[in-house]
Amino acid sequence: MAYTKTLLCFVFVAVFMASMSEARKRNATHIQFYMHDAPGGSNPSAVRVAGQPTNSTGSEMGAMFGFGSIYVMDNSLTATPDANSTLIGRAQGLYAMSSQENELSLLMTLTYNFVSGTYNGSSLSIVGRNPVMNEVREMPIVGGTGVFRLARGFALAKTHSMDQVTAVIEYNVTVIPYY
């Protein structure tokens, strides 16, 4: 009798765990979009709000991207790398130059606000380290709203293109809904 109860309990737990794993796999959402970051130029989408004064580093570039510089951003998210393609949302938040070493590393605290399509009115929140010179960077999704309420997951960022004023970053996001 005890053996039968133990076996039934084991089977129940195994079936429950398998069904939860399958449910999570089926419901993961994958989204790809492009963020357009312009911390300079005539119409910047990111502005420096704190950091070292220019004369402490010896150059304007060193002051802009030196340790401790903090930017507030409101970057467009588009369906393709073309800035004129369909606007699907905005990346709003802060990033700070967080490395004192010979590496350009940012602390990203931002929210992707979706303004069109399936996810219109929903958002995803990211908080994490972004070593921008790495080919692919992974950052955690720590929550969301709307269809992404309490979501978790990760965002893979890859620089698509960059010039002296703007950068286009490709994001591949995997979101696992809260159960």
CA–CA distance, 150 with 177 (Å, rounded to integer): 7
What is the percent of the chain where pLDDT is above 70?
Answer: 78
What is the percent of the chain where pLDDT is above 90?
Answer: 64
Residue 99: what pLDDT? 87
Q: What six digits make up the tokens of 62?
A: 């060193």
Q: What six digits make up the tokens of 110?
A: 């931002």
CA–CA distance, 33 with 114 (Å, rounded to integer): 11
Residues 6+ apart with CB under 8 A from 167: 36, 37, 38, 159, 161
CA–CA distance, 86 with 72 (Å, rounded to integer): 23
Does residue 58 carry a pLDDT above 70?
Answer: no
Are 146 and 175 within 8 A, CB to CB?
no
| 18 or 98, greater pLDDT | 98
Instruction: From 167, 115, 106, 113, select the one nearest 139 (Cα to Cα).
Output: 106
Q: What six digits make up the tokens of 171?
A: 């994001």
Residue 23: what pLDDT? 46
Computed over every residue of the chain, the mean pLDDT equals 85
- Of the listed ranges 25-29, 83-87, 148-152, 169-173, the least confidently predicted one is 25-29
Residues 6+ apart with CB under 8 A from 173: 29, 30, 31, 32, 33, 112, 124, 141, 153, 154, 155, 156
pTM, two decimal places = 0.80
**103-140: per-residue pLDDT in tens?**
889 999 999 999 999 999 999 999 999 999 999 999 99
Residue 162: what pLDDT? 92
Residue 52: what pLDDT? 77
Q: 23 φ, ψ to 5°? A: -60, -45
**160-169: per-residue pLDDT in tens?**
999 987 999 9
Residue 101: what pLDDT? 80
